[in-house]
């Protein structure tokens, strides 16, 4: 693991999302933590056996809501900072991360959308977003999301 935790490590909360390939679910979770956490959450994702690529369906699905996932990279657990994370979530793929220190851990048991048709992939994407928002609230209110996301997801204008 790397030894850097980012420029604002004292004020930011550190979230990590883990899956086997780090190409779909964990990547989308990292993106949603960045979207909804703003500057208060430093988000990471990693895989136990990273594929080295981001799934094109994940890129397309996130592009629909205005997020460019193509800039992300599939990473291994050895490439994340060597810190105690405030929150670690595994995506339900059986990954255990005993060497990743965390104050809070959850296994979300989210189905792998890799082979799903676009509409079902979107359903998984939206489930991941909901799951990411929940622990974000533990560390303070989620900043307002953009009108574009409100329109896309049919959220109330004053999201908590």
CA distances from residue 120 to 38, 43, 91, 134 in whole angstroms, order as listed: 27, 25, 17, 22
Question: Is 99 designated active site?
Answer: no
- Asked if 117 and 57 count as a contact pair (C-beta separation under 8 A), the reply is no
Catalytic residue, from 1, 97, 149, 150: name it. 97
Write the secondary structure of 29-85 as one string of H (helix), E (strand) and C (coil): HHHHHHHHHHHHEEEEEEECCCCCCCCHHHHHHHHCCCCCHHHCCCCEHHHCECCCE
Question: Is 134 designated active site?
Answer: no
Catalytic residue, from 41, 88, 93, 132: name it. 93
Question: Is 93 designated active site?
Answer: yes
Strand partners, 105: 88
What amino acid positions are annotated as catalytic residues? 19, 93, 97
């Amino acid at each position: 693991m790397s030894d850097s935790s980012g420029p604002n490590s004292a004020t930011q909360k550190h979230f990590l999302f883990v899956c086997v390939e780090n190409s779909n679910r964990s990547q989308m979770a990292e993106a949603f933590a960045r979207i909804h956490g703003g500057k208060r959450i430093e988000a990471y994702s990693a895989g136990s056996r990273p594929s080295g690529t981001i799934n094109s369906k994940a890129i397309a699905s996130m592009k629909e809501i205005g997020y460019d996932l193509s800039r992300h990279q599939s990473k291994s657990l050895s490439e994340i900072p060597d810190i105690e994370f405030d929150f670690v979530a595994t995506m339900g793929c059986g990954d255990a991360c005993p060497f990743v220190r965390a104050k809070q851990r959850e296994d979300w048991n989210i189905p792998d959308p890799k082979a799903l048709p676009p509409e079902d992939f979107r359903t998984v994407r939206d489930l991941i977003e909901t799951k990411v928002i929940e622990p974000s609230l533990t560390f303070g209110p989620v900043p307002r999301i953009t009108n574009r996301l409100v329109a896309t997801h049919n959220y109330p204008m004053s999201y908590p």
